[in-house]
């Protein structure tokens, strides 16, 4: 089988088989060509963009001479494999743009002359990081439900908890009557309300009902 007959599906199949070392020589040539195209893409100073790389392939690669369709197919497969669907996915494009920015950043750092230039380089670095985050979001993102306001239930009923059960209301009232006889009737009434003996509880009391203002 000629190496030009291979495609990225064969490469993925090889990877799924555990990347065996024993492979056909023509398959090795196919993979090496993908790697070569990727390295050319990284040498922006020599080859530039896609058209320049394809022109180089159809001019200097013996098996690709004059075959732009095959060269374009190999270019797309190289970008897909090394950046991450055959027509190059959005994710692959984002990773490619981030690599372009990395080269721009490296050049900009060599040309820095003052603090303002450094600030501009810093913005480029931040932008490249944002692009990579969009292309490769974290899988362990916390679910939105964790940031919702918690639902709370307030209760004085100890039977809802793994603790001592409620005291009987009769025993509680008897204890209050015995221990706080010296307090005013309003204060005793309020204590019994808060102990849930006398209901309903008045949360917002008038001044005339508030034992603390007697």
Residues whose CB is less than 8 angstroms from the CB of residue 49 and which lie 6 or more positions away in sequence, other chains included = none
pLDDT digit string (tens) for 83-100?
764 345 667 667 777 777
pLDDT digit string (tens) for 114-130?
888 888 888 888 888 88
Spans of all domains in the chain: 1-86, 89-137, 158-213
Q: Count CB neighbours of 52 within 10 A.
A: 14
- Three-class secondary structure of residue 111 per DSSP: coil
pLDDT digit string (tens) for 157-187?
666 666 666 667 777 778 777 777 777 777 7
Q: Is the pTM of this model over 0.75?
A: no
Looking at the chain, the whole-number percentage of residues with pLDDT higher than 90 is 13
Residue 15: pLDDT band (50, 70, 90) is: confident
- Three-class secondary structure of residue 71 per DSSP: helix
Q: Which of the two residues, 160 and 24, has the higher pLDDT score?
A: 24
């Amino acid at each position: 089988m000629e190496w030009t007959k291979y495609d990225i599906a064969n490469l993925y199949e090889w990877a799924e088989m555990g990347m065996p070392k024993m492979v056909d020589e023509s398959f090795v040539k196919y993979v090496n060509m993908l790697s070569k195209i990727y390295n050319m893409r990284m040498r922006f100073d020599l080859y530039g963009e896609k058209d320049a790389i394809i022109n180089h392939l159809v001019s200097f690669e013996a098996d690709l001479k004059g075959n732009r369709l095959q060269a374009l197919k190999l270019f797309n497969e190289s970008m897909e494999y090394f950046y991450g669907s055959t027509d190059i996915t959005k994710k692959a494009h984002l990773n490619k743009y981030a690599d372009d920015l990395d080269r721009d950043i490296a050049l900009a750092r060599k040309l820095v002359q003052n603090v303002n230039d450094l600030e501009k380089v810093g913005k480029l670095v931040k932008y490249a990081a944002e692009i990579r985050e969009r292309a490769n979001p974290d899988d362990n993102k916390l679910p939105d439900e964790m940031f919702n306001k918690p639902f709370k239930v307030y209760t004085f009923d100890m039977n809802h908890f793994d603790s001592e059960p409620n005291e009987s209301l009769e025993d509680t009232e008897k204890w209050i009557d015995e221990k706080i006889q010296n307090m005013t009737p309003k204060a005793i009434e309020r204590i019994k309300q808060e102990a849930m003996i006398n209901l309903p509880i008045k949360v917002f009391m008038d001044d005339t009902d508030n034992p603390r203002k007697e």
